[in-house]
Amino acid sequence: MSHNEHHEGVLDGVAGQLKTVFAQSAQGVYIYLDDDHLICNEKFAKMLGYSSAKEVRSTEGSFLEAFVAESSQPVLAKAYQDAMEHQTGSTNQITWKTKTDKEVGSTTILVPIEFDEHLLALHFVTEK
């Protein structure tokens, strides 16, 4: 199994464990492992103007550059760093970029989670 396939398996496994949260949360939800490995629910995809969670998952490039407004990139990066290095959760005001570069304000909760010996960041996004 390749490194990429392993990480895809980790995402699929954690999403399977959280399938009720993904399906029923009133918030956009996504799990971030790295720029190449993230998974989200349909609410998050629609919030950012994508047709499906699968389309978001297949977007290439830097997560921050693809989905986060430039002004919010340092805030989300710092929250992620704190979550991974110190296992601390946080609530942040994040402005997202839609597929058409429209900006969407939000309150975003980020918490570290562990699955299959991998640290990941679980996010709950409430559009303002």
Three-state DSSP class for residue 76: helix
Which amino acid is residue 18, in one-letter code?
A: L
Regarding the domain delimited by 3-127, which CATH topology (the fold level of the hierarchy) does it fall under?
Beta-Lactamase (3.30.450)
Residue 78 corresponds to which tokens in the numbers above?
A: 């710092």
pLDDT number for residue 4: 87
Supply the pLDDT for residue 66: 96
What are the structural domain ranges in the chain? 3-127
Backbone φ, ψ for residue 98 (5° rounding) = -80, 175
Q: Point out the least confidently predicted range of 57-61, 69-73, 109-113.
A: 57-61
Q: Over the stretch 32-59, which tens digit does the pLDDT of each residue have?
A: 999 989 999 999 999 999 999 999 999 9
> What does the pLDDT look like over 73-103, one tens digit per residue?
999 999 999 999 999 999 999 999 999 999 9
Between the alpha carbon of residue 65 and those of residues 26, 50, 98, the distances in Å are: 26, 16, 11
